[in-house]
A and B are shown apart, each in its own frame.
Chain A
Amino acid sequence: MNLGIEHYLILSGVLFCIGLYGALAKRNAVGILMCIEIMLNAVNIAMVAFSRYLAPDVVVLTGQVFAIFVMTVAAAEAAVALAIIISVYRTRRSVDVEQMDLMQG
Chain B
Amino acid sequence: MTEVAFCIIAVILVGSAVAVVLLRDLFRSALLLIVSFFAVAAIYITLYADFLAAVQVLVYAGAIGILIIFAVMLTRDLRHGNPFNRISGPALLLALLLLATIVGVVVSTDWPTVSQVPQVVEMPLHDPVTGEAVRGSTSFLATALFDRDGGFVLPFEIASVLLLAALVGAIVLVRRKEKD
Which chain A positions have C-beta within 8 A of B88? 24-25
Please pick, from A18, A41, A94, A95, the residue contacting B21 in the complex, using a CB distance under 8 A: A18
The A-B contact count (CB < 8 A) is 247
* A95 and B92 form a contact (CB under 8 A): no
Q: With A10-B106, A38-B17, A78-B68 as given contacts, are A62 and B95 in contact (CB-CB < 8 Å)? A: no
Band of interface residues on B = 35 or more
Please pick, from B18, B26, B114, B123, the residue contacting A4 in the complex, using a CB distance under 8 A: B114
* A28 and B111 form a contact (CB under 8 A): no
A1 at the interface (CB under 8 A from B): yes
B134 at the interface (CB under 8 A from A): no
* B173 and A26 form a contact (CB under 8 A): no
> Nearest chain A CB to B49's CB is how many angstroms away?
5
Closest to A21 in B: B95
Instruction: Write out, one digit per residue, whether chain B residues 159-170 have a CB within 8 A of any chain A CB (1) or not (0).
Output: 100110111011
Instruction: Write out, one digit per residue, whether chain B residues 52-82 have a CB within 8 A of any chain A CB (1) or not (0).
Output: 1001100110011001101110110100111
* B159 and A72 form a contact (CB under 8 A): yes
* 5 A-B interface contacts by CB (under 8 A): A13-B106, A24-B87, A38-B33, A72-B162, A75-B64
Instruction: Write out, one digit per residue, whether chain A residues 1-40 have a CB within 8 A of any chain B CB (1) or not (0).
Output: 1111111111101111111111011111111011101100
B155 at the interface (CB under 8 A from A): yes
* A71 and B33 form a contact (CB under 8 A): no
> Nearest chain B CB to A45's CB is how many angstroms away?
6
* B141 and A61 form a contact (CB under 8 A): yes
Q: With A6-B106, A61-B141, A65-B141 as given contacts, are A78 and B64 in contact (CB-CB < 8 Å)? A: yes
Please pick, from A6, A41, A80, the residue contacting B173 in the complex, using a CB distance under 8 A: A80
Bound complex: CA A53 to CA B119 (Å)? 10
Please pick, from B3, B80, B102, the residue contacting A16 in the complex, using a CB distance under 8 A: B102
* B2 and A75 form a contact (CB under 8 A): no
Please pick, from B56, B67, B103, the residue contacting A10 in the complex, using a CB distance under 8 A: B103
Bound complex: CA A74 to CA B120 (Å)? 30
Q: With A15-B13, A26-B82, A71-B56 as given contacts, are A60 and B144 in contact (CB-CB < 8 Å)? A: yes
B8 at the interface (CB under 8 A from A): no
